[in-house]
Amino acid sequence: MDNPRVSTADPHPLIACHDCDLLQRAPAPQIGTSVCCRRCGARLYRMTRDGLDRCLAMTLAAGVLFIVANAFPIVTLELQGVRAATTLFGAVRALYAQHMELVAALVFFTTILVPALELLAMSWMLGPLKFGRVAPGLSLGYRWVRSARPWGMIEVFMLGVLVSLAKLSHLASVEPGVALWSFGALVMLLAAAASSFEPHELWARVDALAAEADPQPMRIA
Partner 1 sequence: MSPAQPTAAQLGLLACDCCGLLSRRAPAGPQRLAAACPRCGAHLHSRKPHSIGRAWAYWIAAVVLYFPANLLPIMQTSSLFDSQRDTIMSGVIFLWNDGSWPLALLVFFASVVVPLLKLIALAYLLVTVQIGMSRRRHQRTRLYRMLEFVGRWSMLDIYVVTILVALVHLQSLAEIEAGPGAIAFGAVVVLTMLAAMSFDPRLIWDANPAQERQHA
Segment 26-45, which members bind Zn ion (CB under 5 A)?
A: 37, 39-40, 42
- Binds 146, which of Zn ion, partner 1, none (CB < 5 to 8 A, cut-off by type)? partner 1
Q: Which of the stretches 4-12, 13-21, 161-169, 201-209 binds Zn ion when contact is defined by CB under 5 A?
A: 13-21
91, with CB counted inside 10 A (0-12, 13-18, 19+), is: middle
Q: 23 vs 213, which CB is nearer to partner 1?
A: 23
Least distance to partner 1, CB of residue 85, Å: 8
Q: 44 vs 112, which CB is nearer to Zn ion?
A: 44
Q: Which of 9, 14, 20, 31 binds Zn ion (CB under 5 A)?
A: 20
- Binds 102, which of partner 1, Zn ion, none (CB < 5 to 8 A, cut-off by type)? partner 1
In angstroms, rounded to a whole number, what is the distance separating the alpha carbons of residues 179 and 73?
6
Q: 20 vs 102, which CB is nearer to Zn ion?
A: 20
Total residues at interface with Zn ion (CB under 5 A): 8
CA dist 122 to 29, 93, 96, 107, 129, Å?
Answer: 24, 28, 30, 22, 11
Least distance to partner 1, CB of residue 49, Å: 21
- Binds 9, which of Zn ion, partner 1, none (CB < 5 to 8 A, cut-off by type)? none
In angstroms, rounded to a whole number, what is the distance separating the alpha carbons of residues 204 and 195?
17
3-state secondary structure of 78: strand
Q: 20 vs 178, which CB is nearer to partner 1?
A: 20
CB 171 within 8 A of CB 75: no
Q: 44 vs 114, which CB is nearer to Zn ion?
A: 44
Least distance to partner 1, CB of residue 142, Å: 6
Least distance to partner 1, CB of residue 100, Å: 5
CB 69 within 8 A of CB 57: no
In angstroms, rounded to a whole number, what is the distance separating the alpha carbons of residues 113 and 102?
15
CB 187 within 8 A of CB 176: no
Residue 177 makes CB contacts below 8 A (sequence gap 6+) with 72, 73, 74, 75, 76, 85
